Amino acid sequence: MTLPGRITSIALLVRTMLEALEKLLILQDRDHQLRRVRDELARLDPERQALQQRLQTARNAVEQARQHLRQLENQRRQLELEVAGKQQLIERYSQQQLQTRKNDEYQALAQEIERLKTAIRQIEDQELDLMEQAEQTQKEIHAAQETLRQTESFVQEQLATLQNSWRPNANVWRPPWTLLFVNAMNVSCAAGAAMSWWASLTGCAAAVTCAFPRRSLSTAGPTRKS
């Protein structure tokens, strides 16, 4: 192989190596970014789960208060039914009192009526207690709903902060492949200058032009005078 051919082959080889090095460094950068994302996700997942758990706790508090209110209302309705049943008995016993002619039956009915009235008063006291509990539970529901609203707002803000905290930015590490590439090109330029100087001595300028067609060789060495 002639000397110009060797120079061309070497230049092409250097250029191929530089391109391969650039691709390798780009691949290394992407691999680093992937590892970084995985590490960030591993760090953020516990925080995200804690926020979700906090939100779920607030929701559970609202639901528990509502469930308690429903139970109180059901109990009050049951007591109302008991009162209605006892009042019906009182009316029936009162009718029987008017119909009976025996004093002992009349007195027995009177005692039963009084017992039913006492039971009704006790049930009404229970109803009042349930109404007070229901009123207090309503306040608890309003407080729990306000806490839930604040918690939802806080969790949304924190999740948005976590979501944005690991996005790539200007400060993310990058391998200095550009610096390496520039240094490699500087070496290539120096080699080109040396070959230009040598070509001026041997008359092989065409080989240098072929090897480096787009670079001006401003650092060429001394030329041979004609």
pLDDT in tens, 69-127: 999 999 999 999 999 999 999 999 999 988 888 899 999 999 999 999 999 999 999 99
- Separation between Cα atoms, residue 189 and residue 176, nearest integer Å: 20
- Separation between Cα atoms, residue 195 and residue 201, nearest integer Å: 10
73, part of any domain: yes
| % the chain with pLDDT above 90 | 38
CB 89 within 8 A of CB 147: no
**Amino acid letter, residue 145:** Q
21, part of any domain: yes
CATH of residue 86's domain is 1.10.287.1490
Overall domain count for the chain: 1
205, part of any domain: no
pLDDT in tens, 125-165: 999 999 999 999 999 999 999 999 999 998 888 888 877 76
Q: Which two tokens stand for residue 30?
A: 């992407």
189, part of any domain: no
155, part of any domain: yes
Residue among 174, 169, 170, 186 at smallest CA distance from 26? 174
The residue among 28 and 200 whose pLDDT is bigger is 28
Residues 6+ apart with CB under 8 A from 9: 1
Residue range(s) defining the domain that contains residue 18: 3-165
224, part of any domain: no
Question: Binning pLDDT at 50, 70 and 90, where does residue 40 land?
Answer: low
What is the structure's pLDDT at 188? 52
